[in-house]
Amino acid sequence: MPPSLYLLSPPLRSSHRLFFPLFCFFFVSSLILCSLPGSASSPCENPPVIFNFGDSNSDTGGLAAGLGFPVNSPNGRTFFHRSTGRLCDGRLVIDFLCQSLNTSFLTPYLDSLANSNFANGANFAIVGSSTLPKYVPFSLNIQVMQFIHFKARALELVTSGAKGLIGDAGFRNALYMIDIGQNDMADSFSKNMSYAQVIKRIPSVITEIRNAMTTLYDQGARKFWVHNTGPLGCLPQKLSLAQEKELDHYGCLSRYNSAAKLFNEGLLHLCQEMRPQLKDAAIVYVDVYTIKYDLIANSTSYGFSSPLVTCCGNGGPPYNYNIRSTCGNPGSEACRDGSQFLSWDGIHYTEAANEIIASKILSMDHSQPRTPFDFFCQG
């Protein structure tokens, strides 16, 4: 499907109109966009090649392609009208970001039936991925190793005369996106580690991200876009399974969110530290945590009801999450209107929420340094 067809999205729902004037202000003042994600026009006439590394928050079908793991309906029902391997009712944040650059959605690296459509990059993100432990499918360092193989093979084919593949300039000018760390924090809590033990692991996680960025830099990467992790304690899955429930004002698990914020502080420090070390590299840190927590804290202002309730599940009140009957599996049911919910399946956000998250990312308000996403368009 050509990029132009990807960009045909439904009109903004009424709750989004509250933020349209604010977004337009950023459009006029910074000239970073022609419109909200999903519009049919874009100032990015030469979109960059994009390589993405991460977990289920940005997996566009890698788990299904690589392990044959079924991601059943109703996943994908909103935009694609079929399951695409995304754990969402429609598009992910990365899909909206791609649309804003007028480029097609990223093809999973492991998808051998994608007509070799890797001209605009590849997605190495896989559901369940973390940085630790190393050398297990599909930890961050394995994703980087896959990229190195992908690059070597692509350049080999280009040298032999193959067309439609990424050449040396494409890799050099590409945007390298990293969105990982959530599972490192979440899995630690699920293994009944104490809060102190979870916090003690954070430096090791940050080190793995540092190693990945350094390796990519040595491979020629010069443009990095790094997302921090969201408020773990606000996920219905965690709320449903947690043994001790010390909740904050909005009903989220305080310790989980505290751990996520400490991880994010370490990640921000890493990005600041690496800028002078990686000469001539642009490193943008994006505070996704603040964006997502704001959606929860002010959910009614955005048109959402019950921000801590799962749309697709079978757990009953208060969170509608049951680990034995998760979305897409027998016994689960999906809500009628996903646009009223923040949480799709207890872990991942709905397309409606992802659209707002992407819009706020594109506003530059949560980026350090403030950098328009179309900065990465090729000249």
**Catalytic center residues:** 56, 345, 348
- Cα-Cα-Cα-Cα torsion 144, 148, 150, 153, nearest 10 degrees, comes to -170
Cβ atoms within 10 Å of 198's Cβ, excluding its own: 22
Q: How many CA atoms lie within 13 A of 11 on its CB side?
A: 4
Cβ atoms within 10 Å of 29's Cβ, excluding its own: 8
Terminal CA-CA length for the chain:
25
Collapsing DSSP states into helix, strand and coil, what is residue 174? coil
Asked if 268 contacts 252 with a C-beta cutoff of 8 angstroms, the reply is no
CA distances from 368 to 207, 246, 285, 302 (A): 20, 31, 5, 25
Task: Quickly list H helices, 178-253.
Answer: 182-190, 195-218, 236-241
Structure tokens at 191: 């293994």
Tell me the C-alpha distance between 368 and 261, whole Å: 16
Structure tokens at 136: 């297990």
178, containing H or E segment: strand 175-179
